[in-house]
Chains A and B, each alone.
Chain A
Amino acid sequence: SQKIEQNSEALNIQEGKTATLTCNYTNYSPAYLQWYRQDPGRGPVFLLLIRENEKEKRKERLKVTFDTTLKQSLFHITASQPADSATYLCALPPEGGGNKLTFGTGTQLKVEL
């Protein structure tokens, strides 16, 4: 089965800098990859989806890349703000398709003034 790895160590950065989070996966080639944001005490919120034939996707200050050779997705937040502080999860569909997602354990981002 697929395995997803996200850095379990929290990432602390200064306001205004670019935050980069990593999602690595093994064992197969997913058709797409998703990123979610989760605030303490709340459910995850869908942010972005990138398909296997897309190298990069942007939405406002967010940018996601998808390297199917390295089996890695990078999630960037440019001009970060304290309000961006949260845990960010990546999620992958099952091999062969279907609606069940496997989530990474998430990386906590803290943006400091």
Chain B
Amino acid sequence: DAGITQSPRHKVTETGTPVTLRCHQTENHRYMYWYRQDPGHGLRLIHYSYGVKDTDKGEVSDGYSVSRSKTEDFLLTLESATSSQTSVYFCAISESIHLAVSYNEQFFGPGTRLTVL
């Protein structure tokens, strides 16, 4: 998985509780992304980061926040989890800073399965 780990891999939580998912990379890639994947919707971008402390919203950002204090770590927080946030969450990275040209091939982590009861 291209040096990308996600933790936890599985989590069950209750509605209203805060949840933080962590993505860690060892590839020194500039961009990091959080997606959710649901049947019938495919992969949808939640938030992404283009550098330390630089983040932007994706297609489905409501109810989620992110932080990136180090190149290698990108955190996704659900401030107050809802049942609609039950999903599989994938982290991805792209664009090594060592490449002169990149067409944004993305490398994905193994995913986190989150269930909100």
Q: Which residues of A contact B (CB under 8 A)?
A: 32, 34, 41-46, 49, 51, 89, 91, 93, 99-106
Contact = CB atoms under 8 A, between A and B. Distances in A.
B48 A49 contact: no
B42 A101 contact: no
Could you tell me the dominant secondary structure of chain B's interface residues?
strand
A89 B103 CA distance: 17
B42 A103 contact: yes
B97 to A, nearest CB: 13
A46 B42 contact: no
B100 to A, nearest CB: 16
Most interface-central of B58, B105, B109 (chain A CB within 10 A): B105
A89 B4 CA distance: 20
Interface residues of B, number: 27
Given A99-B48, A100-B45, 18 more contacts: A34-B103, A34-B105, A43-B90, A43-B108, A43-B110, A44-B108, A45-B108, A51-B103, A89-B42, A99-B94, A100-B33, A100-B58, A102-B45, A102-B59, A103-B35, A103-B42, A103-B43, A105-B41
Interface of B: 1, 31, 33, 35, 40-45, 48, 50, 58-59, 90, 92, 94-95, 103-111
